Structure 1
Amino acid sequence: MKKHKWMYVVVDEGHKLKNINCQLSRILRQISSKNRVILTGTPLHNTLAELWALLNYVSPEIFNDWKIFEDLLTTNSSNQQIIEQEKQNKIISSIHQILAPFMLRRTKPEVGLDLPPKKEILVYAPSTPSQQILYECAVNLVKSAKEQKSDKFTLECSVIDGRKRRKSTKIIDYKQYYKDFDELYDEESYTSLIADESVIELPKELVGSRQDNQYVSFGRFNRYNILMQMRKITNHPYLVQWPYDHRKGRLVVNEDIVRTSGKMRALDELLQQLYVRKNRVILFSQMTKMLDVIEEYCHYRKYQFLRFDGSTKLDERQQYINEFNTNDQIFMFLVSTRAGGLGINLCGADTAIIYDSDWNPQMDLQAQDRCHRIGQSKPVIVYRLVTAHTIDEKILQTANSKRKLDKMIIQKGQSFRASNQQNGDQQRTLTLDELIKILESTDFKAIYNYSTDKLESDRLYSDEDLKKMLDRECSEELIEIGSQFNRSQE
């Protein structure tokens, strides 16, 4: 391709060029062309520097200094700082004018797709006792290393490679994967977190004996992955240590797979109601090992499911998609967010569950649109699960800041460009009231908080709350069930 001079180079899913130094970007820039076009539904993911990288590819002569562009506005700016900047310098309005000649954007309503409504609900879940202790251990580990000014801290434990992931509901014999468990097992290594000379004891309920259940550890704690380990703990403690029945030669799967995780408790209550109502579900997770846990849960609850992740062969992917869309008996489709978030149509489902959020909000938006697209005839509801008072809330806060930037720069800018085209030469800019409304807006139509008086019971949410959570009627006003005070009592 480099040998020829092209009239046009058209790059589909062009947001992959957001890193100007990535290999794809470098190779495409070597192709000589008179015109360049980028096709993408998400031109702004994290920062304005990424948007500049796309513009630099399209027109490198004009957009040749990324620092000037990036310094205009950042996701770290507070709402008040953004408002003051707009008052003094009209920065956002200036960006809209810069982008106007280079961007043509059409949203679903503008092209007349006539899709049913989509409603997103934020569902807060508590941390279970085992999650709280593990999370505290992780936090203390970091504090201990900071005090000793050391990077050399780790969770000393035997690591057994994870079992093969299933592609269907076929039962697997676990003995073949853990036949050498006796040789790998070291009783001392399962009892403490070691940070240099200091030792942090693990909770008793997570330490098995040789006579009863033992535990399989799936990773090591260190400075460079502690954030990921904290995310694992908030998702499910089995991602750190999963009970293993040495006598039966397999991982333990019982009611504890639900009880030991706050998110799983919330998920279980939702799925039971969705199953009765004959709704069909796509569940997204960032972690394939979390999908492993949910697979076991589906077997335990006898839910039929399919699974799609990065290891799924190309010739099997479309087969699974077609099977799900045509077979109403399949209740759930388990999908890894990155592998299944683009280019597939799962309109056979009317419910999406984001089990763990991505730092990049566009990944989750692309994922939930797998079922809210052409061919969908039912209202779609999206549940986003969040473990209260954990790193989950920080991820959500960061993602909301990035979404705020997208709404200000891309979405509002496009509406002004369309308005200005209709009004001829009369230029309309962003007013302060409109800016404040954007900054205070949220993608969520409802927020559901668990009640602390139900933490010790079998249910997190009352029948009345679940009925409201399952209501697919869209409201313009944000609805919040339960109080923030209840969550703060945890």
Structure 2
Amino acid sequence: MKYKPHQYQEYATQQILDTNYIALLLDMGLGKTVSTLTAIDLLLNDYFDASRVLVIAPLRVADDTWAREVEKWDHLQHLRISKVLGSAIQRRKALKADADIYVINRENVEWLVGELGTKWDFETVVIDELSSFKNPKSKRFRALRRVRPMMKRLIGLTGTPAPNSLMDLWPQIYLLDQGERLGKTITSFRDRYFVPGERSGHIVYKWHEKKEAEQRIYDAISDIVVSMKADDWLELPERIDRIVQIRLSDKARDLYRKLERDLLLPYQDADVVATTAAVLSNKLLQMASGAVYDEEKGIKLIHDAKLDALEDIIEAAQGKPVMVFYNFKHSLARIQERFPQARILRKGKDGNQDIVDWNNDQIPLLLLHPKSAGHGLNLQESSCQTVVWFDQIWSLEEDQQANARVHRQGQTRRIVVMRLVAEDTMDEEAVIALERKADGQEALMQAVKARIERVRVV
């Protein structure tokens, strides 16, 4: 296929060429992969400013997306890609292959750093989904930090750089500039821009931004961060977000309340640390969806109200495919039991065939987990217009990425995203939290977006 870049794609490619260390906050659907590959091709074959290029990506993206994009576009088909995946033996063989671009999944970054050590020879590194390095304590971040001084270029790609708070930015920006803009350590970053908030003893588990901290952070990173929002560049079909209120029966509500009290009462006179809060909210979200695991890993059924609502939605779709996101295994099992026609997205080659079948309208009901369907899947070619969130989640990043599998460039139909929200349960809190995080995310995107305003009038 002949590549006819949009104006924003040309701009993104040029920014990569002009800036050795750069984060491109490209909204979903803006073609970040082909823009980056075009820049890499120029660096390799025109500017001779790169030799071996490493791409770090989520597993499914590493296995499929980058190679598929090379095959898709005429101007890239000469690029040779080696997938550093599979067993250790397979990965070592792939590293020795004669290629231009080596693609590895992020879970194996620590292995790669250990394998190469001081012989690290990837001067140009692309991190697809830079936000997956937002935890400064993670092994993948610490490993990449060790070899960062040996890189001449680093390109970070993501649509959600601060999915939870501005605290997520420090590790990502550190990989770009080694601490020049936001500080050499996470501690110095916190001291400069945040004040301690909620704590448990001496442990602070929530930090609050200082006055004007947001603007100061944006100003500090503006020269190496470029933001592009899909709404500014693409004329996508309308997306409608709907809350489907799920009313529980008196019996189900009483059971929910009882289990809720049983979980919450032991903590009423004690501080609830973050990990405990996560466990509690997870249990309550399970209950809101209709079932919960007990201490013996058995399943306690609470209600079928969401299954009944999903049945109504499928019927209203009048034969068109419906995509459903679930978060809990027992939700998956209950949906499959109620709807035998449902299919899940499998792994490997089988999963690739599932994508083809879905886009050809051969799967009437596709069940996806947001963690496995978040990146690199193009599912917009089916006639699906209905996306349903059966379970509610806390992660803004997973929510945005999952919805963008259908509502993205190439989509020609209006999309309706429905959230099944049980009334007066933790479901409502999760939806409110996502909306609150989205507001913060939008502030970040808007602040750095100003860097590209001039190109719009060219």
TM-score class normalised by the smaller sequence: 0.5 to 0.7
- 4+ residue segments displaced more than 4 Å: 67-71, 73-77, 109-112, 146-149, 222-226, 238-241, 420-424
| In the alignment, structure 1 residue 372 sits paired with structure 2 residue 426 | no
| In the alignment, structure 1 residue 330 sits paired with structure 2 residue 325 | no
Counterpart of 2:379, as a letter, is L
Alignment partners' CA distance in 1, 2:396 and 2:322? 20
In structure 2, relative to structure 1, the CA distance for the partners of 1:143 and 1:226 (3 Å cut) is closer
Q: Which has the larger radius of gyration?
A: 1
Alignment partners' CA distance in 2, 1:332 and 1:75? 46
Alignment partners' CA distance in 2, 1:61 and 1:224? 31
Counterpart of 2:441, as a letter, is D
Shift of residue 234 of structure 1? 0.7
**Residue of 263, 280, 285 corresponding to 2:306:** 263
Shift of residue 371 of structure 1? 1.0
Alignment partners' CA distance in 2, 1:421 and 1:260? 54
Shift of residue 368 of structure 1? 1.0
Shift of residue 108 of structure 1? 2.6
In structure 2, relative to structure 1, the CA distance for the partners of 1:146 and 1:73 (3 Å cut) is closer
Give the match for residue 415 of structure 1. 449
1:58-97 alpha-carbon deviations (Å, 9 max, x no partner)? 11231324345446469999xxxxxxx99xx544333332
1:345-399 alpha-carbon deviations (Å, 9 max, x no partner)? 2111222111122211121111111111233221111111211111112222222
Q: What is the aligned-residue identity percentage?
A: 22
**Residue of 100, 103, 125 corresponding to 2:246:** 125
- Normalising by structure 2, what TM-score? 0.62
Counterpart of 1:142, as a letter, is L
Larger helix share, 1 or 2: 2
In structure 2, relative to structure 1, the CA distance for the partners of 1:404 and 1:54 (3 Å cut) is same
Give the match for residue 334 of structure 2. 293
| In the alignment, structure 1 residue 272 sits paired with structure 2 residue 309 | no
Any idea what SS the aligned residue of 2:225 has?
coil
In structure 2, relative to structure 1, the CA distance for the partners of 1:142 and 1:109 (3 Å cut) is closer
Any idea what SS the aligned residue of 1:339 has?
coil
Q: 1:341 touches 1:366 (CA, 8 Å); kept in 2?
A: yes
Give the match for residue 233 of structure 1. 287
Give the match for residue 346 of structure 1. 379
Any idea what SS the aligned residue of 1:30 has?
helix
Q: 2:392 touches 2:427 (CA, 8 Å); kept in 1?
A: yes
In structure 2, relative to structure 1, the CA distance for the partners of 1:95 and 1:226 (3 Å cut) is closer
Alignment partners' CA distance in 2, 1:237 and 1:395? 17
Shift of residue 293 of structure 1? 0.5
Give the match for residue 54 of structure 1. 172
Specify every segment of 5 or more residues in structure 2 that has no aligned partner in the other structure, as ranges. Answer: 1-115, 199-208
- Normalising by structure 1, what TM-score? 0.58
C-alpha RMSD over aligned residues: 3.4
Give the match for residue 306 of structure 1. 343
Alignment partners' CA distance in 1, 2:442 and 2:194? 13
Q: 1:48 touches 1:69 (CA, 8 Å); kept in 2?
A: no
Q: 2:246 touches 2:423 (CA, 8 Å); kept in 1?
A: yes
Shift of residue 148 of structure 1? 9.8
Give the match for residue 10 of structure 1. 126
1:387-426 alpha-carbon deviations (Å, 9 max, x no partner)? 11111122222222211111112x21133333367799xx
Q: 2:128 touches 2:158 (CA, 8 Å); kept in 1?
A: yes
Counterpart of 2:155, as a letter, is V
Alignment partners' CA distance in 2, 1:7 and 1:223? 42
Alignment partners' CA distance in 2, 1:224 and 1:50? 18
Counterpart of 1:104, as a letter, is V
In structure 2, relative to structure 1, the CA distance for the partners of 1:422 and 1:373 (3 Å cut) is closer
Alignment partners' CA distance in 1, 2:125 and 2:264? 52
Q: 1:121 touches 1:383 (CA, 8 Å); kept in 2?
A: yes
